[in-house]
């Protein structure tokens, strides 16, 4: 896996998987498959929706982790809108955080711009290379690197899910 930070607002990860691009594309667009990896290993109370068409929405919510100062019943989430759905080659979607990711804490709804994710799936001998490009991260000197670590961990979970 290769992780790059072209600047303080982006994460670019290239990873090879031993699965078809059709299987990987489905893992990014099918709610049941997304639930198995998108928040990492064994998230509590995960609920995922996906309407994988241009203009369709997606969401992934989990129970807030214990001990983080949240009240019982609080949920963390991320959601967005599909902008490009070119199965099984390319996927582009927005990402809005309904979870404390640092730069949005204490900020009113609508005050943090949505981010975007561009994913390319390329067939290679014995598998698929996925290029995951996350853009629009606020440039605060640390969030792009933190996102990179988080995405790398969830892609490791994805590798186990797709086989």
Residue 38: closest CA among 80, 72, 5: 80
Task: Give the whole-angstrom CA distance, residue 39 versus residue 30.
Answer: 14
List the 75-86 sheet strands across, edge first: 2-4, 10-17, 127-135, 115-124, 90-98, 75-86, 57-63, 47-50
Cβ atoms of residues 117 and 3 within 8 Å: no
- Record the pTM: 0.91
**pLDDT score recorded for residue 28:** 98
Residue 83: closest CA among 136, 10, 41, 40: 136
Task: Give the whole-angstrom CA distance, residue 71 versus residue 68.
Answer: 9
* Share above pLDDT 90 across residues of the chain, in percent, rounded to a whole number: 68
**pLDDT score recorded for residue 67:** 59
pLDDT tens track for 19-61: 999 999 999 999 999 999 999 887 889 999 999 999 999 999 9
> In order of start, what are the domains of the chain with their CATH numbers?
2-162 (3.30.530.20)
Higher pLDDT, 147 or 100: 147
Categorize the per-residue pLDDT at 114 as very low, low, confident or very high, splitting at 50, 70 and 90: confident
Q: Taking the mean position of all CA atoms in its chain, how far away is CA 48?
A: 12
Task: Give the whole-angstrom CA distance, residue 17 versus residue 128.
Answer: 5
């Amino acid at each position: 896996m290769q992780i790059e930070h072209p600047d303080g607002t982006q994460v670019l990860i290239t990873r090879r998987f031993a699965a078809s691009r059709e299987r990987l594309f489905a893992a990014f667009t099918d709610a049941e498959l997304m639930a198995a990896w998108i928040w990492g290993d064994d998230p509590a109370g995960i609920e995922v929706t996906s309407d994988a068409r241009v203009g369709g929405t997606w969401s992934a919510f989990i129970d807030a982790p214990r001990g983080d100062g949240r009240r019982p019943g609080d949920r963390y989430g991320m959601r967005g809108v599909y902008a490009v759905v070119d199965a099984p080659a390319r996927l582009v979607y927005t990402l809005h955080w309904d979870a404390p990711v640092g730069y949005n804490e204490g900020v009113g709804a609508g005050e943090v711009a949505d981010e975007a994710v561009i994913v390319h799936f390329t067939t290679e001998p014995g598998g698929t290379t996925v290029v995951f490009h996350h853009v629009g991260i606020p440039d605060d000197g640390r969030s792009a690197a933190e996102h990179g670590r988080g995405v790398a961990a969830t892609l490791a979970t994805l590798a186990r899910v797709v086989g």
